[in-house]
Amino acid sequence: MRGIMSLTVLAIIVLAGFYEAGVLLSTGSEGETIVIRGAGSSFLQPQLEAWIQGFMRYDGKIIVEYQSVGSGAGQKQFFQGLADFAGSDPPLSHDDWEKYRGKVLQLPVILGAVAVVYNIPDIPKSIHLNLTGEILAGIYKGTINYWDDPKIKSINPGIADKLPHREIIAVHRSDASGTTQIFTTFLRKSAPSIWPKDLVGKTIDWPVDKTGRGVGGKGNPGVTATILSTPYSIGYVELAYALEGNLGLAAIRNKDGVFVLPSPRTIKAAARHALESGLMPSSPEDDFSGELNAIIYAGGSDSYPITAFSHIIIWAKYNSEAKAEALRLFIQWIYTEGLNYIVEGYVAVPPEVARLGLQASSLMEG
């Protein structure tokens, strides 16, 4: 009998729990507030959180939520209708854009850069190693094996005698990531004879792994931690992680042959040159799949060559008028007020791109 009693009590507790949850949910949708759900890129998350907080302080009635699940999962949730907008580092692929042509709008919301960082105890952090796409491609291919390789020495004459005869450990992402896509696109564009086309993507078969000198770390934190704990290693991370100052930061040779460090100035310059090249789409309805190609290894003597846009993807038409209006307000806010809420490590888009974003909010229908 006691068994039944306790089971009954348990059942009541469980049912009460469901009821409670139901009540909470229904007040959420009946009230005046509107909830917009986004999902996607983890790179975008810190910046989006800053925007969401700023926006919700400005407009109390709209609640914006963002889940950092990765660009791929974000796009999937968006197309399945589970999220109202997707945050995605890479724009839609040409095929996906073709499939949803006219129905989706893509907005470049922020600029970011991939920094090349290293851990060489012999070199002080105030000195920045010079590196080129060819050398990085050689390292990740497993053909440049030692830090005192003549190719590295020749472009670093000031510290040539300090470069040690130590094996280079090449650290890369172990999870699929937009960062890897940006980095490998740069390798392909800057060293086409060394880096083949099929080694460009979010996750690839790293040739250096086969030599036993390649190591994968999960996420930007994982890569940073691995480099920190591995002397004589090199890796690539989002700029914000490189700015923490624990690692050496490399200056990368751009298309015009100048070695540049990532900074708001050099990142913006890359975006400007990409716009001037005419390869960038001019409307949010256009195909953005060629955009990475335009901005990475862009021309201009002051451009940082491993720069990319990160995007928000929205529908051109939403079922609910209220939701469309709320999203429109949020996007307009991002491109106006939001410019004052840029988190360190990110760079605001140039005015030409902001105009394109504002244009999107007028294309939206409820």
Partner 1 sequence: MPPGMGGRSDKLFFYALLPFAAVTVALFLLLFKVLVGNSLPIFLREGFGFIESSVWRPSETNPQAEYYGMLAPILGTFYSSIVALLLALPASISLTILIDEYAPHGLRGHLVNMVEIMAGLPTVLYGLWGAYILAPALKSHVMQPLNTYLGMIPLFSCTPTTPSTILTAGVVLAIMVTPFMTSIIREAYESVPLIYREAALSIGAARYEYVGIMMSIIKPAVLASILLGFGRAAGETIAVSMTIGNSFSISPCLFKPGYTISSLIADQFGNAGFYHYMTYALYGAGFLLLLIGLALNTLGLYLLVAWRRRLEAR
Binding of partner 1 by 210 (CB under 8 A)? yes
Contacts of 94 (CB under 8 A, 6+ apart): 287, 289
Query: Rounded CA gap, 176 and 203, in Å?
Result: 5
Over the range 132-160, which residues count as b (16 or more CB within 10 Å of their CB) and which as e? bbbbbbbbbbbebeebebeebeebbeebe
Residue 119 sits in the site that holds partner 1 (CB under 8 A) = no
Please tell me whether residue 161 binds partner 1 under the rule CB under 8 A. Answer: no
Q: With contact defined as beta carbons under 8 Å apart, do 285 and 363 qualify?
A: yes
CA distance 42 to 237: 13
Of 43, 47, 75, 86, the residue at the interface with partner 1 (CB under 8 A) is 75
Q: How far apart are CA 240 and CA 237, in angstroms?
A: 8
Judged by CB under 8 A, the residue of 184, 233, 303, 310 near partner 1 is 233
Number of residues interacting with partner 1: please give it, by CB under 8 A. Answer: 43
Closer residue to partner 1, CB minimum distance, 46 or 350: 46
d(CA 182, CA 187): 9
Tokens of 127: 């000195």
CB of 210 to partner 1, least distance (A): 6
| Coil, helix or strand at residue 116 | strand
User: Which ranges constitute the DSSP H helices of the chain?
Assistant: 2-30, 45-58, 71-79, 94-99, 133-141, 150-155, 178-190, 219-229, 239-242, 264-276, 291-295, 321-335, 351-363
Kindly tell me which of 4 and 13 has the beta carbon lying closer to partner 1: 4
For residue 198, state whether it binds partner 1 (rule: CB under 8 A). yes
Candidates 46-54, 182-190, 194-202, 352-360; binding stretch for partner 1 (CB under 8 A): 194-202
Taking the least distance from each CB to partner 1, the nearer of 192 and 212 is 212
Q: Using the rule CB under 8 A, which residue among 164, 214, 299, 350 binds partner 1?
A: 214
Q: Give whichever of 35 and 228 is closer to partner 1, judged by the CB atom.
A: 228
Of 184-192, 200-208, 268-276, 341-349, the window that binds partner 1 (rule: CB under 8 A) is: 200-208
| Eight-class DSSP state of 197 | G
Of 112-120, 156-164, 215-223, 356-364, the segment contacting partner 1 by CB under 8 A is: 215-223
CA–CA dist 59, 267 (Å, integer): 31
Closer to partner 1 at the Cβ: 136 or 267? 136
Cα distance between residue 111 and residue 202, in whole Å: 18
Rounded to a whole number of angstroms, the minimum distance from the CB of residue 7 to partner 1 is 5
Q: What are phi and psi of 129, to 5 degrees?
A: -65, 140
By beta-carbon proximity to partner 1, the closer residue of 70 and 357 is 70
Asked if 169 is part of the footprint of partner 1 (rule: CB under 8 A), the reply reads yes
Please list every residue from 30 through 69 that binds partner 1, using CB under 8 A. 69
In Å, how far from its chain's centre is CA 74? 13
CB of 78 to partner 1, least distance (A): 11
Look-up of token digits 């890129």: 41
Binding stretches for partner 1 (CB under 8 A): 1, 3-4, 7, 69-73, 75-76, 93, 95, 167, 169, 174-177, 198, 201-206, 209-218, 222, 225-226, 229-230, 232-233
